[in-house]
Each structure stands twice: as structure tokens, then as C-alpha cells.
A = this chain, B = another copy of it.
């Protein structure tokens, strides 16, 4: 991602050039030309792209010119080769033209593509193939880009086995940390630190303390609920971190918390895979992208038709994992598989979160609802004036 605006350092094109293979001529030489009155202009040179004809042309002369070549002095138009015929008379080559050519016809003017000084790519833009072409055009072999924030992941839970370990009674393999690893990379961060710790206060404390030293942003999964072994709040306390929030009125991910220490943010994410996933996308991602200097730090929000009934009301706003499809310009959002917070498989297919505001009523299929797009690289700005804040219609 660019960390400075990219402005054009010269006009593009920086000389008048031909967009086609043809003949550069003075348009005034064709005033009398017509289907029955061909004019003949003498071809004084042939130039390929990259070459120039420095002698210029006079009226009734022409230079055969290839796509991209510079227009010689004296010429003010190009006629495409397909509309002409070459004829040889008395050892000289002429181009036969049967129509009037307008001044300026088929001339790519100076600065027609990009003007010197014009900001072409604002800072905070990801370097896509079009940006790469633009950088090359201006000879920019190196450009300032944002340093990727270093992210730490600590998975807590005595039930967690490492990925390489065989299953044991009552235990499961740690999947959240690897999921977060992928989410960090997708959001533009650099995962640098990983620990798996038991539900043990000292072990958790030490891991978090070390993570804060080595990374710019620290995520823990698990240990944030009301259980007897949920040590994250106590770890924040002992570290002297300032609690920013704990518990959020949403499902899943209600146990998400955040604290600040030495200017670094510690995110306490749920141990439930889907709750952890949603907590990352809604809270960690925007923070990480802000550190990157991106303009659009939030998930892109749009509206879609709800693909399924949600008859049961919920006091909390729900974020339902869903798959989007486009049908004749209308977006449809279908919930994927079993949408429970402890379900991993729903995350494979999900490319959006349906937002169902909390309240006393359910939602019917076909209702227009807000959706947040997970795979969209562009995102949404902090204050998006283009998006209406219209509430979805409730079921009656």
C-alpha cells in the first residue's frame, strides 16, 4: 500500500503520438479529397514507434507512422493505413487518400492520459496491476509503502492441542490461531508471534507480556468469558493495561474485549471459532488497517435480499455468516450451513456477514438487509456518506 500520494511527474503522453498505424499528414492537404477525387501525398519517410522524423513535413507530404510513434512537425492528423493505398509514380512513393481528414484526427495529445502534477493514486491505495503500470510509466522503481503492523496471536485453553498432535480425550486441535493468521494476512498485517497456552494465569500473563514487546497488536483467543479459568481480564489488570471495553451487545462475539498498554492494543477475542472470526473482522481489522494508513478501514457494507427466514427475535444484533450471489444486479445473501458460534465449517464458504439488528421481531426471507463483505479488498471509509443508514424492514 502506498504511503504517499502518487502524482504524475510528467505529462502522459509527453509528445503527440499516433494511436494507429497510418500516415501523418497536414489535414489541409486533403481539403479537395473525395471518393472520386483521390489526393496523392508524397511519403517522405517511414517511422516505427520509438523513432522520430525530425525534418517535419510540408503540405502534400506524409510520413508513414506506426502506432505509438511521435507525430512529426507540420503534421496535424493521422489517417489509418486501412483507409489508404500506396502508389509509386516516377520512383516516388505516394499515399492515396479519398476523404477529407479533420485537423487533430487520430492524434493523441500531450497529457491526454495523465497531466503533470495530477494526483493519480492517493496514499492508502493498494498497489494493483494498474498502479504498477502507472509507477512504471513514471520510472518509479521504488515507492514508499506502509510497513505492515506486526501482529501476535495467543491461543488460550487447556483443551487445545497443537495441529501436529494426535487427539486426546476432551481435547481439540487449535484452529483459531491459524484462522487468525490467515485473517491478519488478508487484512494486510504481518503475523510474527504465536503461543498456545494452558488455562493458567502465569503462563497466559507471560505470553501476553512478551507479545506486547514483540508486536504492534496483540490478539488472544479464549479466556474472556465468565468461566472459572477465564484469566484474560486479570492478565490485563496485572499488566496495568487500560480496559477499553469488554462485552459487546452482539452475537456472536459478545465476549470481545480490548485494552491498551504502552500505546498498543490488546484484543481479547472469543475462543469460539466463529465468534473469534467475527470479532477480528469487526474490531481488529479496522484497527490494523488504520495502522496501515488505509482510507477504507471497515468492511464494505451494502444491502442484499435475505435468503432465509429468521423467525426468532434476538435482543442483540446478529452477524450471520453468509454467501453472496448476484442475480440480475440484485444481491442475495444466503446464510451458510449451521450458523452457531462454535461452528468452524460455516467459515469456509462465508464471504459476507448479514447484519440483523437486535429487537423484538424476526426477519423474513426477501427482506433488504445490510451485509458486510468479507473478501472485498476495497473496504469502506470511516465515514461513508455514500451509504444510506436505512434500517432494514422488520417482520410484521
**A residues touching B (Cβ–Cβ < 8 Å)?**
10, 12-15, 19, 21, 46, 48-52, 64, 66-70, 81-82, 108, 112-114, 120-121, 125, 127-141, 157-160, 163-167, 169-183, 186, 198-199, 225-229, 271-273, 277, 300, 302-305, 325-331, 338, 340-351, 368, 375-378, 386, 388, 390
Contact = CB atoms under 8 A, between A and B. Distances in A.
A129 B182 contact: yes
Please classify the interface of chain A as helix (H, G, I), strand (E, B), loop, or mixed, using the class held by over half of its residues.
loop
Copies of this subunit: 2
B179 A130 contact: yes
A173 B141 CA distance: 12
Nearest to A326: B302
A314 to B, nearest CB: 16
Nearest to A300: B326
B15 A169 contact: yes
Nearest to A9: B167
Contacts of A113: 338, 342-345
Contact of A375 (B67, B120, B174, B377): B377
11 contacts: A13-B172, A50-B171, A50-B198, A66-B229, A70-B169, A81-B226, A112-B338, A129-B277, A132-B182, A136-B163, A136-B179
Nearest to A324: B378
A48 B271 CA distance: 13
